[in-house]
Chains A and B, each alone.
Chain A
C-alpha cells in the first residue's frame, strides 16, 4: 500500500488506518482541543432527557415538503409516545414470561448448599428450546436475578468465549473477581496476601480471592451447552467438583434439545458429579402469541399492522426460528415506517384535535381510495349533501376526518370483541394470531365464513351450548385484560341480557326434559335422525327416520335459532381496509420490511452485474438485449463471461475474450494497457466478491466459486 502514495495518489492517511475518530472540523492535533471533562454526576438526568434532544429534527417534512412544522413535530412525538407505550407493554410481557423460571432457578440455587450435596455440583438444566436469540435474554435475566436475590456471582459462558480449558478457567476467574471487586481486579488476582503468585487460570487464585471476599455461590452458566466441546465440559466439571469443597460452584446449562441428549454426551462418571434438575422455559411461540396480544392487537395500540405485513412477520418467526427480539424489531420498524412516511399519522397523536389539518392533508384525503369508497357508498345511500360537503368544504371534511378517527377506535374494540367471541367456540383450531390476521384481511360476517360456525353451534348439545354462551357473556362483560379490551359495565350490552336469558331458558328446559326422562335436543342435533338397519333377503337396508321431537325439544330449537340469529348479527365486522380513512391507522406494506430485514444480497449483486443499466440508467448500456456491451463496467463484462466458464477458468483466455469486447477492434475501443488495467480491477473485484479463487491446477488458471 505504500506504493499508492509514492505514485502520488492523493489519499488521506485515514483510509489506511484500521480505526480512527472521525472529526472533520478538527484536523488540528488533539492537544489544541479543550480537555474533555468527565461528567459523571450529570449522567443520569442527561440520559433521560436525551432522546428528546436527539429527535429534534429527524423527521422530514412530507406532503412535498409542505407539511407544517407543527404537524411534523406532532408526528414525531406521536411516534415516540405510542411506541414507547407498546415497548413498555412488551417489556412487561417479557419480564413476566421468564419470571417463573427465574424464581424456580433462584430457589434451587439457594436451597442447594454444599452441606446437602457434598460431592455433587448442583446444576440447573434449563430447557430453552432451539431459539438461540432469546437465550441470551433469558440468561441475562437469570444472572441479574441470581446476583440480586441469591448474592451469587454469575459467569456467563458462550461456546465462542472459551475454546480450551485454560481460556475457560481464565474467563471464569476474571469474571468472578471483576464482578466482586470493583477496583483493580487484576492486581488482586495474581498476587496473594502473602505475595504468592498465581497463574491466571489457577483456581487457587479464585479460592484465595474468595477467602478475602466470601461468596455464597459461584455460578457458571453455559448458555449453549450443546456447542461446547464435550471434552472441555468434562474437564471443567471434573475440576469444579474437585474444588467444590473450597469454592461453592453451581452450574447452569442451557439445553436446546433435551436432558437425555445432554446426558448422553457426557461420560457416566462425569454425570455422576452433577446433581441436576430440569427447568422448562416458555417456548418462543407462546411468547410471541402473548406479545402479539399486548402489542399488536391491543386496543390502545394506535397503529394497526395490516394482515399482509403481519402474515409476513409471523411466518418469518415460524420459518426462520427468528427470536423474540426480531419480532419486536419488526413491529418497531412498522411503527417507524408509518410515522415517518405517512402524513396522517399525525392524527394518531393524543392531542391531534388541536392540530389544524393543512389543505394539503385534505387534498390527499380526497384522493384516498377509502375516501372514494366512502363517497360511493354515501351516494348509494343518497347522502348527496354529505358528499358535496366532503368534496368542497374543507372544514366539513376535517370534522368528518376527526369523527371518523373516533369511529375507528370503536371499530377496533368491536373487532377484538368479535374475535374473542369467535374464540369461545370450541371448534376453532387456529391461534389468536391467525384469527386476528384473518379478521383484518377478510372481516367477519360473510355467509360462508360463518357457516361453519353456525352449523357447528346448531349441532351443539345443551351443555355445550350453555358453556359457550356463558363464556361469551363473560367475554362481553369482562373483556380481555391482555389485549386491553375492557368489558361492558353490568348488563348494558343487549347481547348480555339476551344471551343470559337464553342460558336461563335452556337450563329450565333441561330440567323439564330431565323430569320427563328424556334428553334435550334440538332439531339440528345429530341424534334426531335414527338409522335403521333392516336385513331383508340377506341384504342390508338402511333407512332414516326423523325422531319425533318433544315439546321441550321444540322450545330448545327455537332458543337455538334465536341465539344463532343474534350471533349472526353481532358477529359482524368489516375488513380493516373497508373502513374509511384506514390509511391513517393501518400499516400494511410488505416491501420495506422484506428488504430491510430479509435482504437478498446475492440477487442484488448479481443483478447489478448482469444488468447494470437498472442502476446506472445510462444511455450507453441498455442491456435489454442481454448482450455484452463494451460500455458496461468491466466487472459486469467479466461477470457475463464468467457465467459461461467451466469450473476452471483460464485467465489468459478470459483476458483475450475481455479484450475482444473492449479492445481496439471495437468502436471507441481501448488500447491494450488501459484494457488490462480495467481487467485487473475487474478480476480483483471478482475475487473480493468471492467469485473466484486461485487455483494450482494449471498455470494462470483460477477456480470458479459461485454457480449463480
Chain B
C-alpha cells in the first residue's frame, strides 16, 4: 500500500515509529493480514471452532466409519465391472451408492428425471426394480469401502433427519457439520435427479434455517462456487413468507433524528483509522505529482478523507492561482460529464465557457484551454464508481482527462467490483495506483438511506419527502389542486380504515369515483382539467397509480397513515 509502510531496506528501528502500541498492532495486523489473504482469492471465514460437545456414540461411530472409508478408498481398488465405471471414478460410485441409499432409506419409489449417464440410469433402475444390489456386482464381492461409504451416508442422513425432527437445529456442532458434509457431498453430485420427498424435507428445513429466522451464527463450510449453484437451483430458495407489514417503516425525519441521538461506539476507532490514512498524504501527493492517478478503495465512506486530502494539497500549494482543486461528487444523481468538464474549465479560466456539445469535443477544447494556461488542476472524484459515472463513455473521458499532464486525479471507489469499469486501455490511461483506504466511516451524503431501502423493498415514490414536501409542492399549486389533493387524501384515509394496509401499500381509490367526486365539489369541470391536476401530482410523485386485475385505474398516495392525517390537517386549516 504505502511504500513507507512496507518493509523497507532499513531495519525496523529506522522505520517511522508509530508511538502508540495500538497503532503498531494495527499496522502489523494490516500488513500481516494482507500477506495472509494474498494467496487465497477469497478470504473465507475459517470454520468455526466451537467447544465440542460430548461425542455421542452415533457420532463416534460415524467418525470411525468415515475414517475407515478414507483409509479403504486409498488402498482398495474398486472392482470395475460397473456399467460405465471403467475408470472406477470415485465420484460416480459415490453418487450412485448414495442415490440408492436415499431411495432405500426413506421411500422406495423414486423418479429419475433425466437419464444423462448410463451410470445414473442403471442406478435408478437398480433402485426401482431390484432392491438388492447383488445383481449389479455380478461376482458378488461388494468392495468393503463402498459398503462403508454407503453406511456412513445412511447414518449421516439419518442423523440429520433425527436432529431436525427433534428440533435440535440451533445446537449444531461438529458432528452435525460432519453429517452435513457427508450428506451434502452426495447432494451436489446428483443435481439432475429429483430428490425424493424425505430428502427434500430435510433440505427444505436446512435451507430455511439459512434464511435466518433462527439466526444460526455460522456459515456452512461449503465451497463457494458450489454454494452459488446450490442456491440457484430451481426451487432451492425457500424463504418464509413473513413480511415487514407489522413493522412501521422509518421516515426521513425519524431516521435522522434517531441517527443524531445515537452515537457510534466505534467513533474513536474510525477516527483513528482515518488519521492513520492521513499519514500517507505526503506520499499520495508525491505520487500525484509523478503523474500517477490514485484510486482509494475499501469499505467505508472516503469522502471526508478526500476532503482532508484536498485541504492538505491546498495548504501545500505555493500558489493558488496555478494549482487548483476541483471536487467532483460522483454520487450526486445529477452529476454529468458535461458539468464536470465545465467546472474544470471554470477553474482554469472563470470567464471561459466551454462550448456545450459532445463530451469528447468538450474535452478537446478543455485540453486546448489547459495548454494555454499555466495551471495544475487536481481533480478529486468522490465515488468514481457511483451510478451516474458508470457509463463507459464517461470513464473514457475521465481517463483521457487524467492522462493530461496538467491534470492530477485522485478518486475513491466504494464498490468491491470497481475494476470492471475499465478495460486495459482506459486503465493504462488512468495510470492508477491503488491504496486500501478502509475507513468504516458511514456513508452520509452518498446514500439516501431511507429512499434507497424503500426502493429496495419495492416501496418507491417517497421522493417528495413526507408532509413538508407535499405542503411545499401544494403551496405553489392553484387552489383547486389543493382541494383535489385534500379530497384524495380523505378518500385514501377512508379506504385505509375500511380495507387496512395490504402489502405495504395504501389501498387505491378508483379513478372514476374520484373524478365524479371532484366534479361534484366543483374542483374541476372536465376530465381534461382533472387529468392536468393529477399530472402535476404525478410529476412530483405525490400520487401513485396502478391497475387492478380488472384494469380499473386506482389512485393512491405513497404516504403512511400518520403522514396522511397530518397532511389532511394541514390542508383543512
Contacts and interface: CB of A to CB of B under 8 A. Distances in A.
Nearest to A705: B417
Interface string A1-18: 111101101010011111
Nearest to A596: B433
B255 A677 contact: yes
Contacts of A698: 239, 241
Given A18-B332, A323-B428, A677 B210 contact: no
Top 5 closest A-B pairs, CB basis?
A: A608-B299, A599-B434, A22-B325, A19-B343, A133-B428
A133 B424 CA distance: 6
Interface string B434-478: 111010101111111110110111100000011011000000000
Interface string A633-666: 1010000110111111111111111001100000
A635 B442 CA distance: 10
Contacts of B45: 610, 626, 643
A685 B443 contact: yes
Contact of A655 (B13, B247, B419): B247
B447 A685 contact: yes
Given A38-B349, A341-B8, A616-B440, A323 B372 contact: no
A646 B443 contact: no
A694 B455 CA distance: 7
A580 interface: no
Interface in A253-283: none
Interface string B22-63: 100110011001110110111111101100000000000000
Interface stretch (B99-107, B113-121, B356-364): B356-364
A413 B96 CA distance: 67
Contact of B418 (A601, A616, A657): A601
Contact of A603 (B43, B227, B443): B43
B335 interface: yes
Given A43-B372, A591-B6, A688-B414, 5 more contacts: A56-B318, A647-B232, A651-B456, A656-B242, A701-B239
Nearest to B246: A652
A677 B250 contact: yes
A55 interface: yes
A670 B44 CA distance: 29
Most central of B238, B361, B396 by chain A CB within 10 Å: B361
A332 B447 CA distance: 38
Contacts of B242: 650, 652-653, 656, 700
A690 B417 contact: yes
B436 A604 contact: yes
Contacts of B490: none
A54 B428 contact: no
Contacts of A40: 372-373
Contacts of A337: 3
Nearest to B282: A60
B335 A18 contact: yes
Interface string A685-708: 101111011101011111010111
A5 to B, nearest CB: 10
A607 B33 contact: yes
17 contacts: A4-B445, A11-B444, A19-B326, A20-B327, A22-B314, A50-B376, A60-B4, A340-B283, A602-B416, A607-B33, A609-B299, A616-B266, A631-B265, A645-B211, A651-B456, A699-B503, A700-B244
B172 to A, nearest CB: 12
Interface stretch (A442-450, A562-570, A617-625): A617-625
A333 interface: yes
Contact of B9 (A583, A620, A692): A583
B26 A615 contact: yes
Nearest to A594: B38
Contacts of B9: 341-342, 344, 368, 583-584, 586
Interface string B240-277: 11111001001011111111011001100110110000
Contacts of B318: 53, 56
A336 interface: yes
Interface stretch (B126-134, B141-149, B290-298): B290-298
A500 interface: no
Given A9-B256, A325-B431, A610-B43, A604 B332 contact: no
Nearest to A2: B465
Contact of A647 (B237, B253, B344, B417): B237
B210 A651 contact: no
Given A53-B318, A599-B297, A652-B242, A322 B428 contact: yes
B14 interface: yes
B75 interface: no
A649 to B, nearest CB: 7
B216 interface: yes
Most central of B218, B374, B429 by chain A CB within 10 Å: B374
A683 interface: yes
A690 B334 CA distance: 21
Interface residues of A, number: 159
Nearest to A21: B347
A186 interface: yes
Contacts of A367: 11, 13
Interface in A74-101: none
Given A58-B285, A340-B283, A698-B239, A650 B211 contact: yes
A451 to B, nearest CB: 34
A539 interface: no
A595 B1 contact: yes
B87 to A, nearest CB: 31
Contact of B329 (A19, A47, A645): A19
A406 interface: no
A326 B427 CA distance: 9
Given A36-B349, A650-B240, A708-B42, A18 B324 contact: no
Interface in A26-58: 30, 36, 38-40, 42-43, 46-47, 50, 53-58
Contacts of B240: 650, 652-653
Q: Is the interface of A mostly helix, strand, loop or mixed?
A: helix
Interface in B178-192: none
Nearest to B215: A657
Interface string A573-608: 000000000011010010110111101111111111
A605 B327 contact: no
Interface in B313-342: 314, 316, 318, 320-321, 324-329, 332, 334-336, 339-340, 342
A63 B16 CA distance: 7
A604 B298 contact: yes
Interface string A399-417: 0000000000000000000
Contacts of A496: none
A25 interface: yes
B258 A641 contact: no
Contacts of B446: 688
A670 B360 CA distance: 52
A58 B328 contact: no
A481 interface: no
A132 B30 contact: no
A607 B37 contact: yes
Nearest to A58: B286
Given A16-B445, A160-B396, A186-B355, A54 B43 contact: no
A391 to B, nearest CB: 16
Contact of A47 (B297, B374, B444, B503): B374
Nearest to B419: A601
A628 interface: yes
A136 interface: yes
A578 B289 CA distance: 35
A647 B219 contact: no
A321 interface: yes
Nearest to A343: B10
Contacts of B452: 684, 687-688
A615 to B, nearest CB: 5
A36 B321 contact: yes
Given A132-B425, A687-B452, A342 B262 contact: no
Contact of B7 (A161, A321, A591): A591
Contacts of A23: 314, 320, 325
